[in-house]
Amino acid sequence: MEASFNCYVLNFSNTYVIEIYNERDIRYAQIGSNKYKLDTFMVGNISNFICQIKKVNCELKLWRVNIKRKEIRDKNVSTEEDIVQKLYGKDMEPGELFQEYFQDELNNQNFIATNIHIIAIISTTSTTEEKETVKVKDAIDIALKNVIRVRNDKPELTIMPFMERDFNDAITRITRNIQNNHKKSKSKTDFDILFIGGTPGIGKTRYGDELFKHLKNNQNWVPPEWKNNLHIESLYLDFGSGCKLDSYDDDLSPEVIIGLRIAFVFFIESKYDMKFVTFCDRVLKYKDVFKISNVFEFITEHLNLEPEQQLFVFLHIDEF
């Protein structure tokens, strides 16, 4: 072990240790049983760990300090203002890398292993019960506060015709999924995911785009009960750039990982001047509301669909 950093939770008087290791010239950070490469270890990973240990859906704030433990008692530190004014604490942002705040200490400069290096406060102004009333719409409204809406004036590009591709097998699998969903099947073997693999440049992304166009423009695949009552949407999630995976996702369930990205793509991407990582920072404390079912419920509400209308979503995930 190269070093250890102490994180003190003020209103619980608990201390958690962040250990730094070097294995084959690669540096790692470990908190509890969670291990990360140091160059991907985020402040938000610390917040998530503490909230999980405390078993609360909490709002957690962190400050960088470098103090002796007794200073907290001697200076009667009990509030956020005390941390800033008495301990000269520096606010730590969830979306920032841990190493950005401790460059000197990680280089063995001005480092005292027994000191407190981070102070955390679990907010008492927002209870778990209050957070459970927050819905997807509320969290998105919070994320978009003071964010500029952008105009999308880009002209449509003329692209080469898409030739010699057969969509019949894909459509057969899609209709099978629909039929088994109508039967309320819970068996995973009753549902297919279309997968396209291969080298870059062979048209994998284009195939998904053209399949959606075919589904939208040639609706002979639509079940009889959906005829004239179908609303079809396409959602393109680019895990390679637009909403790529990062260390935040290590602490999230797959359902929330996908739900966050669906919400971002449908409500924010290309509409507001906001990147996905910023969106995640702002809704991190409400992450549990972004389950896929909750997000689709809000999408249906947002589209103002009639009760008899059926929403069909073509979910296209790239670079996963």
Picking from 125, 129, 144, the residue whose alpha carbon sits closest to that of residue 281 is 144
pLDDT, averaged in runs of 10, over the chain (320 residues):
91 87 92 92 91 72 94 89 94 93 91 94 57 82 91 59 73 92 89 87 86 90 88 92 81 89 95 92 87 94 88 89
81, 107, 128 - which closes a domain: 128
Q: Residue 53 is which amino acid?
A: I
Residue 192 is predicted with a pLDDT of 92
Q: Which domain does 174 fall in, by range? A: 134-318
Picking from 308, 300, 301, 296, the residue whose alpha carbon sits closest to that of residue 229 is 308
Tokens 């609706």 belong to residue: 219
148 and 287 co-located in one domain: yes
Residue 110 is predicted with a pLDDT of 86
Residue 300 is predicted with a pLDDT of 92
190 and 117 co-located in one domain: no
38 and 106 co-located in one domain: yes
72 and 45 co-located in one domain: yes
CA dist 258 and 237 (Å) reads 9
Look up the CATH number of the domain holding residue 29. 3.10.20
Strand 14-23 relative to strand 26-31: parallel, antiparallel, unpaired? antiparallel
Q: Specify whether the CB–CB gap between 61 and 91 falls below 8 A.
A: yes
Cα distances from 43 to residues 18, 34, 120, 151, in angstroms, run 11, 13, 11, 33
158 and 280 co-located in one domain: yes
104 and 214 co-located in one domain: no
46 and 163 co-located in one domain: no
Exposure class string for 209-239: b at 16+ Cβ within 10 A, else e: bbbbebbeeeeebbeeebeeebeeebbbbbe
157 and 286 co-located in one domain: yes
199 and 115 co-located in one domain: no
Burial of 160 (0-12, 13-18, 19+ CB in 10 A): exposed
DSSP 148-205: PB----PPPPP-----S---HHHHHHHHHHHHHHHTT---GGG--------STTSSHH
Helix or strand run (H / E) with residue 235: strand 230-238
82, 97, 128 - which closes a domain: 128
128, 155, 189 - which closes a domain: 128
185 and 298 co-located in one domain: yes
Token pair for residue 4?
Answer: 């250890």
Residue 130 is predicted with a pLDDT of 47
* Sign of the dihedral defined by the CA atoms of residues 281, 282, 285, 291, in that order: negative
CA dist 287 and 26 (Å) reads 31
User: How many structural domains compose the chain?
Assistant: 2
48 and 190 co-located in one domain: no
CA dist 144 and 167 (Å) reads 39
151 and 296 co-located in one domain: yes
Helix or strand run (H / E) with residue 13: none
Token pair for residue 241?
Answer: 């750039």
Cα distances from 281 to residues 21, 94, 96, 106, 155, in angstroms, run 27, 6, 9, 25, 32
Tokens 């088994």 belong to residue: 180
Residue 244 is predicted with a pLDDT of 85
